[in-house]
A and B are shown apart, each in its own frame.
Chain A
Amino acid sequence: EAGVAQSPRYKIIEKRQSVAFWCNPISGHATLYWYQQILGQGPKLLIQFQNNGVVDDSQLPKDRFSAERLKGVDSTLKIQPAKLEDSAVYLCASSLKIRQGAANYGYTFGSGTRLTVV
């Protein structure tokens, strides 16, 4: 089974520039997540999709971050304009469809995109 694919692996940009990350989840996984992991911290959920609909984006800084999953498969996360504090690893994860109230059987993470804003 192919894993979660992410690109690019690394990106260095200047502050106020824009950047986009791409994620392709495991085939058949309806639920897709974007996490931000700042050095020394645990991953923080930015946005959760179920198919092509947003389930939760309460921690997404919507003034600069946007995400979409148009066909319910791959997804892009964009930052515009970037700030120094956006330097982090952006992780994409996927899982089988989440049913409300049901146990979840774990997420699979991609290799991440390491963003450095200078």
Chain B
Amino acid sequence: QKEVEQNSGPLSVPEGAIASLNCTYSDRGSQSFFWYRQYSGKSPELIMSIYSNGDKEDGRFTAQLNKASQYVSLLIRDSQPSDSATYLCAVHSGNTGKLIFGQGTTLQVKP
């Protein structure tokens, strides 16, 4: 079992729709959870962080965390073509101090 798993996609949504990206993790000692956006040829950019169960909203982005299910998700409302990128889920373990990434989900927003 991979430590952090994501569906590689591509996930294709029409402009204006909600994009839903999912991630599961294996280490129950994980305490910090992040979503990074990576455009082709660029380095990852932090867009959301979440530390406790529930939802966290920031503009068009909502991160959801369920530690019991070891599940993290990212919702992007009113998707725009500029949101087309690879979205990386990253999980930080308080026990090991490591930040482990999933393989990323490629999102395509079609005009």
Does residue A72 face the partner (Cβ distance < 8 Å to B)? no
A98–B97 contact, CB under 8 A? yes
A101–B43 contact, CB under 8 A? no
In the assembled complex, the Cα of A117 lies from the Cα of B97 at a distance in Å of: 31
Of the candidates A41, A45, A101, the one whose C-beta lies within 8 Å of that of B99 is A45
Does residue A109 face the partner (Cβ distance < 8 Å to B)? yes
For chain A, what secondary structure do more than half of its interface residues adopt (helix, strand, loop), or is it mixed?
A: loop
Cβ proximity bits A48-68 to B, threshold 8 Å, 1 near / 0 not? 100000011000000000000
Chain B nearest CB from A104 CB (Å) reads 4
- Take A42-B88, A105-B32 as given contacts and tell me if A100 and B46 are in contact as well, using a CB distance cutoff of 8 Å: no
Interface size class of A (residues with CB under 8 A): 20 to 34
- Take A101-B94, A111-B43 as given contacts and tell me if A106 and B34 are in contact as well, using a CB distance cutoff of 8 Å: yes
Of the candidates B42, B96, B103, the one whose C-beta lies within 8 Å of that of A56 is B96
Q: What are the residues of chain A within 8 A of B99 when measuring CB–CB?
A: 33, 45, 104, 107
Chain B nearest CB from A36 CB (Å) reads 11
Does residue A103 face the partner (Cβ distance < 8 Å to B)? yes
Those of B1-49 within 8 Å (CB) of chain A: 4, 6, 8, 31-32, 34, 42-46, 49
